[in-house]
Each structure stands twice: as C-alpha cells, then as structure tokens.
C-alpha cells in the first residue's frame, strides 16, 4: 500500500469514482453494485428481510411491500442492497422486472422477466434455475448432490441414456410432486443442468418458441398462439410454485413511473398493481415488492377500480396500509456514503489517503446534510467537486461523457444477455438513426431525414420495429431485429418485411446475428424473396458494433435522471461519431448485397455457463 500524497493526487486528477454513476442501472442490481451503506434507509430493506424470514418460517404465506420515494432518493439502491444480501443466502430467489415495453402483453413480459432473472447466479455460484433443478432431483431421488456435480454428470448421462435420462428424472420428480400439473415445466427446469441445453431450456421457459427440431429433441411442446397472455400467467404461477418448495421468491417491480398506456387505458403501475394482486392471491408463498414515486401511488394506484383490495395486498404488512417512505439524507448519512465510496475507490487502486474523505472536507459534507438532499444529488455534487484545487477542474469534458463511459462498462459486462434483447437493440438503432436525421451528411448515399413508427393493424403488431426515411422520401427502409429462434415468429416477421407496398417501404432490412434453421420452410422462402427479389438485406448483428449504441441509448432513455438534455446527447453522438462511423449503421444504409451474411453464430443464447467440475461422483442413473 502506498501513502504518497502526490501519487494519490495524480490518481484523483485522472480518475473520478463518482462521474457517470448517479443512476443505478439494472446491471448493477444483478452484478457489481454501487458502494452501499446499510444504515441508510435501513427501515425499508429490513422490512423486506423480515418478510422473507416470516415466509421462510411459515408465519406468513405472501407479503406485499411498496416503497415510495421521490426521484433520486435511492429506491434502486435499496433494491440492489436486497438482491445482494439475498444472494448470500440459501433461503430465497430474486426476480426483478423493470421493463414494460408492451403493456398489452404484460403477463408475457413478466414471464420473460422471471425466466431471465432465474438465469442470474444465486448463492451456490450457479444459475438460480440450476439450484432449483438440483433441489428437485435431490428430493425425488433422495440424493444430496450439488448443482455443480449435476452439471458435471449430465453429459455422461445423456451420452449413455439419451433423452431418456431427462424423462426418467421428470417422472421421478412428478411422483413426489403430484400436485405439479405441467410436467413440461419440470422437464425444462431439469434440462437447465445440461451445459448444451441450458440456453434452449431457459428460452422455452420464457414462453418463447424453439426451433421445431430443438423442441422435439428436448420433448418440449412449443407454446400455442391462441392466448399467450393466459398461458404466460399460468406458466409463471407454476414456476413460482415449484421454486417455492425450496426458496422464498422475492419478486421486485421497479421503474413503474412511466406514462405509457395499454389498450385498456391502464398505466404500467396500475397493470403491475393488478398483476401483484393476482399473484398475492394465487402464490403458495413469496414476497412482492414494488417501488414508485409518491405521486404514482396517489394518482394511479388509488385511482384503480376496487383500489382498497389492491392496496391491502400491496402493503399487506403495514398497519396503516401506507407504503414505506424513504428518507432524505442527513449529515451523518452523507459522510458515511461518501466515505464508503472513497474507501472502495482507494482500495481498488491500492492507495491510503491522508484521511477517509480526501479530497473532500467533512465540514462541507455536513453542510450538505442541512439541505436534506437525495442520494443522487450528493453523488452528483461529489462528481463535480472531486478535485484538489480550482486549477484541477476538468476542462472541455462533454457532460454526457462520464455517463456514457459508465454505461459502456455495464453494457460490456451484460452483453451476452443484451445481444438477445431485441427491444433494446431496436431502441439503440432508433437513437442512432434519429441522431443522423439531425445532420445534413450523407452516409452510403443516404441522407436520413427521420425515423418513423410503422403503423400496423392488430394482426401485424410486434413484427416490424421502425422505418428509416431519407433522400426526400425516396428511401424507406423497414428494419426488424430478430434474435429469437422460433421459426413461426421469424416467418411471420419476414412475411411482413417483404410487403413493401402494404407498409410503405422501398427496402426491408433484417438485423440478426444467428443462422436461420435451413429446414424452416416459411422463413427460408421469405428470406429468398427479401434478398433476391425485393432487393432487401440481412445485416449481421455483432456485439462490438452494437455495444456503443446500447450504451448511449441507455443514457438517452434516462436523460432526465442524468439531468441532461436530448440535445446534449445528440451532440455527443455527433462529436464522438458513434452513429456515422458505426459499421452496423453503415451496413443498414448501404446498397444490399443480396447475400446472406457469413460468420453467423449457431442458433442459441451465447451466455456464459458454469463449467462442469471434474471431481463429481460418477453416479449411474438407474433407468
């Protein structure tokens, strides 16, 4: 450890631990989070921990908790604290939802959030899905093996017995759990222990369609299209009931304060509140947590039909039937918060500062406490004042840059999941093309004028992402991002992409990183028409190309939280040439080659899987 002040001062001049970190992102809920001071608003997090303990001990079946706080007061910090505390324990599972892209399909989105959350690692350093799968087998077979041991043994079992191994294990589980009505959910959960099949299993558990050959190999029926919402809710209930045998599910709904409206007229917070009421009534056990602004509670939740019944479940353990309110920071809170951030910073760079708050002064920090600030405003103040003298103040740093750099780090750590997020990718592309529309320059002989929604009827909703209009309206490129595997969905989307006249297009563009099953006749036929007859294009999606666009997009869609303006963000995109020099953007605008791209990946989710261990007992699965 070094105690040289000059070395520390050089570090301060070149690194600012607070810059770009005033907003908690979803990746920090799951991964490395902000430095946390457990004493700040401990009453809120302790309420959740106490509820988990009550449910675990059988004193309660289901508990509903709602936290309200003004913007920047630390709701997501509390959620991050809860997630990381629960991750160290064997008694619970954490499920997190913060995206409400299609309010007309809120139950399907919730199912996808459940499946995605259970892919996150739990207390045993494997996916939460795999912890549940191992627990199911151990109970059914009266074994005591770890998830890592099963992951190691699965390849041998499958090599010796083929899919009969999974059928046998599924039947064994159903014998001891006869109340489970959908055997395919059990089978899919058991498939998650296979390193080769984990991606397909979790994809199917999300309610999404597998390629038919893959579905047949794993013995899983593809979902029906008749009523996906009802099917999604039924699947969610059964998944949560199965997990409840072994863990207390803690289900958190964050970032509810949006004003998008579903076709039935309800807002996101109202739809989630109604969903939580239904879950409260139907789950065997669990803790349901919502976080929102006080105004959202007053104006939206209390305005619901039968609001009293909803509220009784959203704040079920509060005697006054009121949400838990977060407090503004006081002087002691601020000193503790800044001290914790600086401690982590100096430890990372192996430095010992002259005092724990260096280069700040405790007197100044305590003065801030008199203003009753939010966590966000304190961190913003620290970012702006993390200097030694006035002459050290950074010059000519774009206000967007620190937030963009922080977003790049978070995107990089989560790219394996983000590369599958069609909504996030489409949104990032839209931001990039919108920035180009503000300039006069031509790219690949196209001057982008605007980015438009493609107006469709109900039967065509959910297939085409947006239209790029340029060259005085002569160029109209329809863009669709498809990363999922199901041949039916791919075929349906491509069918619409080649209907230029119906959707007012001059060109269709498919953005995708993976191969399309050669045996999928409809997608292959539509693809042939797109590339050979209609002059369309298939642009290969690559993670390195989309990373900077995902990063700036995450800043753009949170510009109010960062206290930025849209103009500043578009100026930064132009200054750093994030759009104009991006290979993916240029390829979408360029003349189509008429050929399928090369170097496509195999169909499946490219995520890191726990490696099998080699010292597991060699159990012979007796069929």
pLDDT of residue 1: 43
**68 within some domain:** no
pLDDT of residue 455: 87
Same domain, yes or no: 185 and 234: yes
The answer to whether 547 and 411 have CB atoms below 8 angstroms apart is yes
Same domain, yes or no: 448 and 570: yes
3-state secondary structure 160-214: HHCCHHHHHHHHHHHHHCCCCCCHHHHHHHHHCCCCCCHHHHHHHHCCCCCCHHH
Please tell me the pTM assigned to this model.
0.83
What strands lie across the sheet with 324-325, from one edge to the other?
Answer: 92-97, 248-253, 286-292, 62-68, 324-325
Q: Is the pLDDT of residue 615 over 50?
A: no
Same domain, yes or no: 427 and 531: yes
**316 within some domain:** no
Same domain, yes or no: 465 and 510: yes
Which DSSP state fits 32? S
Identify the bridge partners of residue 289 per DSSP, sorted by sequence position. 65, 252
| C-alpha span between 45 and 47 (Å, rounded) | 5
pLDDT of residue 390: 54
Q: How many CB atoms lie within 10 A of CB 604?
A: 19
Identify the bridge partners of residue 67 per DSSP, sorted by sequence position. 291, 324
The answer to whether 297 and 311 have CB atoms below 8 angstroms apart is no
For the chain, report the end-to-end CA distance as a whole number of angstroms. 59
Tracing tokens 């409206």 back to the chain, one arrives at 261
Pick from 29, 87, 52: nearest CA to 286: 52
Length of the chain equals: 623
Same domain, yes or no: 446 and 555: yes
The answer to whether 139 and 296 have CB atoms below 8 angstroms apart is no
Same domain, yes or no: 126 and 235: yes
pLDDT of residue 608: 36
pLDDT of residue 391: 56
Q: Which residue has the higher pLDDT, 541 or 614?
A: 541
User: Considering the chain, what percentage of its residues have pLDDT values greater than 70?
Assistant: 94
| C-alpha span between 539 and 555 (Å, rounded) | 25
| C-alpha span between 514 and 516 (Å, rounded) | 7
Over residues 105-115, the mean pLDDT reads 94
**475 within some domain:** yes
**324 within some domain:** no
pLDDT of residue 277: 96
Same domain, yes or no: 19 and 118: no
Over residues 336-362, the mean pLDDT reads 94
Q: Is the pLDDT of residue 396 over 70?
A: yes
Q: Which residue has the higher pLDDT, 604 or 425?
A: 425
pLDDT category at 479 given cuts 50, 70, 90 is very high
Same domain, yes or no: 369 and 432: no
Average pLDDT, the chain: 90
Identify the bridge partners of residue 508 per DSSP, sorted by sequence position. 478
Write out the H or E segment, with its range, that includes residue 159: helix 147-161
Q: Which residue has the higher pLDDT, 6 or 86?
A: 86
The answer to whether 201 and 609 have CB atoms below 8 angstroms apart is no
Pick from 520, 523, 502, 509: nearest CA to 455: 502
Q: Is the pLDDT of residue 395 over 90?
A: no
Q: Is the pLDDT of residue 4 over 60?
A: no
Tally of CA atoms within 13 A in the half-sphere of 239 that contains its CB = 30
**66 within some domain:** no
**487 within some domain:** yes
What strands lie across the sheet with 448-452, from one edge to the other?
Answer: 448-452, 466-470, 475-481, 507-512, 537-540
Angle at 246 between CA 245 and CA 247, to 5 degrees: 110
Same domain, yes or no: 509 and 558: yes
| C-alpha span between 615 and 194 (Å, rounded) | 17
The answer to whether 524 and 518 have CB atoms below 8 angstroms apart is yes
pLDDT of residue 397: 84
Tracing tokens 């503004």 back to the chain, one arrives at 328
| C-alpha span between 268 and 561 (Å, rounded) | 19
The answer to whether 107 and 275 have CB atoms below 8 angstroms apart is yes
pLDDT category at 3 given cuts 50, 70, 90 is very low
Cis status of the peptide bond prior to 359, with omega within 30 of 0 = yes
- Which tokens is 131 given? 């912890």
- Whole domain around residue 234: which residue ranges? 104-246
DSSP string covering 90-136, please? SSEEEEEE---S-GGGHHHHHHHHHHHHTTSB-TTSSBHHHHHHHHH
pLDDT of residue 130: 96
Same domain, yes or no: 480 and 570: yes
**458 within some domain:** yes
Q: Give the residue from 229, 246, 263 where a domain finishes.
A: 246
Q: How many domains does the chain fold into?
A: 3
Q: Give the residue from 246, 272, 296 where a domain finishes.
A: 246
pLDDT category at 225 given cuts 50, 70, 90 is low
Q: Is the pLDDT of residue 311 over 70?
A: yes
pLDDT of residue 606: 36
**500 within some domain:** yes
The answer to whether 151 and 195 have CB atoms below 8 angstroms apart is yes
Q: Which of 168-177, 441-450, 455-464, 489-498 has the lowest mean pLDDT?
A: 455-464
| C-alpha span between 34 and 27 (Å, rounded) | 11
Q: Quick: pLDDT tens for 136-178.
A: 999 999 999 999 999 999 999 999 999 999 999 999 999 999 9
Q: Is the pLDDT of residue 518 over 90?
A: no
Tally of CA atoms within 13 A in the half-sphere of 314 that contains its CB = 28
pLDDT of residue 20: 83
pLDDT of residue 389: 67
Identify the bridge partners of residue 514 per DSSP, sorted by sequence position. 601
Same domain, yes or no: 198 and 345: no
Same domain, yes or no: 358 and 445: no
| C-alpha span between 260 and 225 (Å, rounded) | 25
Q: Quick: pLDDT tens for 525-583.
A: 999 999 999 999 999 999 999 999 999 999 999 888 888 999 999 999 999 999 999 99
pLDDT category at 441 given cuts 50, 70, 90 is confident
């Amino acid at each position: 450890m070094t105690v040289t002040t000059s070395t520390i001062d050089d570090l301060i001049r070149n690194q600012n631990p607070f810059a770009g970190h005033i907003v908690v992102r979803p990746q920090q809920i799951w991964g490395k989070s902000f430095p946390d001071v457990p004493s700040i608003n401990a009453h809120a997090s302790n309420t959740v921990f106490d509820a988990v303990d009550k449910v675990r001990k059988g004193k309660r079946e289901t508990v509903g908790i709602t936290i309200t706080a003004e913007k920047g007061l630390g709701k997501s910090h509390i959620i991050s604290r809860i997630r990381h505390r629960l991750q160290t324990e064997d008694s619970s599972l954490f499920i997190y939802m913060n995206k409400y892209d299609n309010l007309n399909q809120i139950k399907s989105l919730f199912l996808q959030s459940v499946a995605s959350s259970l892919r996150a690692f739990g207390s045993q350093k494997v996916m939460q899905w795999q912890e549940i799968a191992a627990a199911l087998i151990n109970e059914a077979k009266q074994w005591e093996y770890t998830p890592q041991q099963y992951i190691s043994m699965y390849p041998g079992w499958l090599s010796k017995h083929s899919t009969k191994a999974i059928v046998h294990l599924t039947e064994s589980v159903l014998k001891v759990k006869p109340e489970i009505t959908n055997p395919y959910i059990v089978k899919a959960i058991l498939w998650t222990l296979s390193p080769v099949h984990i991606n397909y299993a979790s994809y199917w558990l999300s309610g999404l369609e597998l390629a038919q050959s893959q579905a047949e190999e794993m013995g899983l029926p593809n979902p029906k299209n008749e009523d996906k919402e009802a099917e999604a809710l039924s699947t969610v209930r059964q998944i949560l009931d199965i997990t409840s045998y072994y863990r207390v599910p803690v289900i958190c709904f964050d970032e509810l304060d949006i004003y998008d409206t579903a076709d039935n007229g309800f807002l996101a917070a109202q739809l989630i509140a109604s969903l939580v009421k239904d879950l409260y009534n139907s789950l065997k056990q669990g803790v349901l947590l919502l976080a929102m602004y006080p105004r959202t509670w007053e104006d939206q939740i209390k305005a619901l039909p039968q609001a009293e019944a909803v509220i009784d479940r959203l704040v079920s353990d509060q005697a006054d039937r009121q949400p838990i309110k977060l407090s503004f920071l006081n002087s002691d809170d601020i000193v503790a918060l800044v001290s914790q951030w600086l401690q982590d910073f100096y430890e990372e760079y192996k430095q010992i500062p002259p005092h724990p708050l260096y280069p700040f002064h405790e007197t100044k920090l305590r003065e801030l406490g008199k203003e009753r600030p939010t966590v966000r405003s304190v961190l913003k103040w620290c970012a702006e004042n993390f200097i030694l003298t006035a002459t050290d103040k950074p010059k000519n740093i774009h206000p967007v840059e620190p937030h963009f750099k922080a977003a790049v780090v978070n995107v990089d750590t989560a790219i394996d999941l983000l590369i599958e997020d069609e909504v996030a990718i489409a949104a990032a592309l839209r931001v990039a093309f919108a920035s180009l529309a503000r300039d006069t320059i031509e790219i690949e002989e196209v001057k982008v004028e605007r980015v438009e929604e493609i107006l469709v009827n109900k039967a065509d909703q959910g297939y085409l992402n947006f239209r790029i209009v340029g060259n005085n309206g002569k160029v109209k490129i329809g863009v669709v991002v498809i990363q999922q595997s199901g041949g039916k969905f791919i075929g349906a989307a491509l069918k619409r992409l080649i209907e230029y006249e119906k959707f007012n297009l001059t060109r269709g563009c498919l953005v995708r990183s993976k191969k399309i099953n050669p045996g999928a006749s409809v997608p292959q036929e539509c693809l042939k028409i797109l590339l050979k007859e209609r002059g369309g294009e298939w642009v290969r999606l690559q993670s390195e190309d989309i990373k900077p666009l995902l990063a700036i997009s995450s800043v753009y869609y949170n510009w109010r939280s960062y206290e930025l303006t849209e103009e500043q963000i578009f100026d930064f995109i132009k200054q750093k040439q994030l759009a104009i020099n991006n290979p993916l953007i240029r390829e979408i605008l360029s003349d189509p080659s008429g050929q399928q791209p090369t170097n496509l990946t195999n169909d499946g989710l490219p995520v890191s899987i726990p490696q099998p261990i080699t010292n597991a007992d060699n159990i012979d699965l007796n069929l």
